[in-house]
Amino acid sequence: MRTIVKFALETAMRRGEILNMEWKAISLKRRILQIPLTKTDTPRTIPLSLRARELLLALPGKDGKVFPIAADSVSQAFRRACKRVDIDNLRFHDLRHEATSRLFEMGLSPVEVATITGHRDTRMLMRYTHLKAEDLAKKLG
């Protein structure tokens, strides 16, 4: 579960996309992942951060599904983990929200972030951002 959570935070991928990943769609050398099935029915290629690549390299086996786990099992394990550390009202999908915000904090443009996350509508993408006025002030000089 820990690896799935870390991977979600590195890639901004949806739970279903992560669980449908197959090793044959990953190029660790090029640091990319092909996602043929997405919520929007639009295949996309996701760049993998160095950390995401490290997480994948540490996994056993390199054949078939990367995470051969049922979606419901992941959701239940996530809820139990949150409960253990007294975190209320956090859903797995909130990791996508956080990851998208982090991409903006890294300085990526909306077009770059949308390419990674698969958002086709920038209005929908912007609801994932939590830009801080202090950070924007620093950019302004």
Structural domains of the chain sorted by starting position, each given as residue range(s) with its CATH number in brackets: 2-140 (1.10.443.10)
Active site residue 119: yes
At residue 93, the pLDDT reads 93
Active site residue 128: yes
pTM exceeding 0.95: no
Q: Considering 51, 93, 127, 132, which one is annotated as catalytic?
A: 93
Q: Which residue, 26, 29, 65, 66, is CA-closest to 46? A: 26
Active site residue 39: yes
Active site residue 2: no
Active site residue 84: no
* Helix 2-11 with 71-84: angle, nearest 10 deg: 100
Nearest-angstrom CA–CA distance, 34 and 112: 16
Phi, psi for residue 115 in degrees, rounded to 5: -65, -40
Mind listing the pLDDT tens digit for each residue in 10-37? Answer: 999 999 999 999 999 999 999 999 998 7
Edge-to-edge order in the sheet of strand 44-47:
26-27, 32-35, 44-47
Q: Considering 2, 39, 138, 139, which one is annotated as catalytic?
A: 39
Contacts for 77-81: CB closer than 8 Å, 24+ residues apart: 77/1, 78/1, 78/5, 81/1, 81/5
Mind listing the pLDDT tens digit for each residue in 58-84? Answer: 998 889 999 999 999 999 999 999 999
